[in-house]
């Protein structure tokens, strides 16, 4: 489990992404967003990012670190495209804090932490314990659009509970991974969890 944890998580996230955006890819390819460059570019960057995460995790599991580093460099460049394209979508679609739903507000914060954690992961790339934890939390915090679209696909009425279950399943799995590998919960995991709850408090009540 420890050896293949990141490969399992990355593959699951890629599968969830395909389910979430199956209408854009398969069932409703004629929809308006498929002809909007900002959404198309953003979508391409996102799928490339999750695909790169799978490849990195695969080579890390095989202990082919040279290939892992190569894909990591590619992933870092793609992550810049992910962040810039997401920022552009936010600025184009949502006009002002009061016009945003709480989950949109939260996403803005989580994409800032995405950029911060990816940068920290890159700067700490020679420290694998720190590096992999920054990567995990950078990716897992801003997955609301995926969770939301999956809940729509499966017509889940209580989407708030679904959101909480999906996020906390990932969180719990990583805390277990921390414990199995370190015999403790790494400080980065505690800080990321605290950030998650703080963001939701700000987004809902302010």
What is the per-residue pLDDT across 98-120, written as a single tens digit (0 to 9) for each?
878 999 999 999 999 999 999 99
* 3-state class (DSSP) for residue 110: helix
> What's the pLDDT band for 25 if we cut at 50, 70, 90?
confident
Note the pLDDT of residue 81. Answer: 95
How many other C-beta atoms are found inside a 10 Å radius of the C-beta of residue 45? Answer: 19
**Could you give the C-alpha distances from 123 to 34, 119, 128, 182, in angstroms and in order?**
36, 6, 11, 22
Are the C-beta atoms of residues 37 and 15 closer than 8 Å to each other?
no
Average pLDDT over residues 5-11: 97
Cα separation, 187 vs 167, in Å, equals: 19
Closest CA relative to residue 164, chosen from 200, 202, 119, 113: 200
Could you give the residue ranges of the DSSP H alpha helices within 62-127?
Answer: 65-93, 102-123
pLDDT over 80 at 196, yes or no: yes
59-78 residue pLDDT tens:
999 999 999 999 999 999 99
pLDDT of residue 32: 84
Q: Would you say the pTM of this structure is higher than 0.85?
A: yes
What pLDDT digit, counting tens, does each position of 28-54 carry? Answer: 788 887 888 888 999 999 999 999 999
pLDDT given for residue 95 in this prediction? 79
56-88 burial, b at 16+ Cβ within 10 Å, e below that, comes to: bbbbbeeeeeeebeebbeebeebbebbbebbee
Contacts of residue 152, defined as CB under 8 A and 6 or more positions apart, other chains included, come to none
Computed over every residue of the chain, the mean pLDDT equals 93
């Amino acid at each position: 489990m420890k050896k293949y944890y990141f490969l399992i998580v990355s593959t699951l996230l890629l599968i969830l992404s395909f389910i979430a955006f199956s209408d854009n890819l398969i069932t409703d390819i004629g929809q308006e967003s498929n002809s909007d460059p900002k959404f198309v570019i953003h979508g391409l960057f996102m799928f490339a990012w999750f695909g790169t995460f799978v490849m990195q995790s695969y080579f890390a599991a095989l202990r082919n670190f040279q290939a892992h580093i190569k894909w990591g460099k590619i992933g870092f460049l793609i992550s810049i495209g992910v962040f810039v394209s997401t920022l552009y979508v936010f600025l184009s679609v949502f006009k002002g804090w009061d016009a945003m739903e709480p989950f949109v507000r939260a996403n803005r914060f989580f994409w800032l932490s995405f950029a911060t954690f990816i940068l920290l992961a890159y700067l700490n790339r020679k420290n694998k314990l720190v590096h992999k934890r920054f990567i995990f939390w950078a990716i897992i915090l801003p997955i609301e659009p995926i969770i939301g679209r999956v809940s729509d696909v499966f017509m889940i009425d209580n989407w708030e509970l679904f959101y909480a279950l999906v996020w906390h399943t990932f969180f719990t799995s990583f805390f277990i991974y921390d414990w199995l590998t370190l015999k403790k919960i790494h400080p980065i995991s505690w800080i990321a969890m605290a950030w998650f709850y703080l963001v939701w408090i700000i987004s809902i009540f302010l």
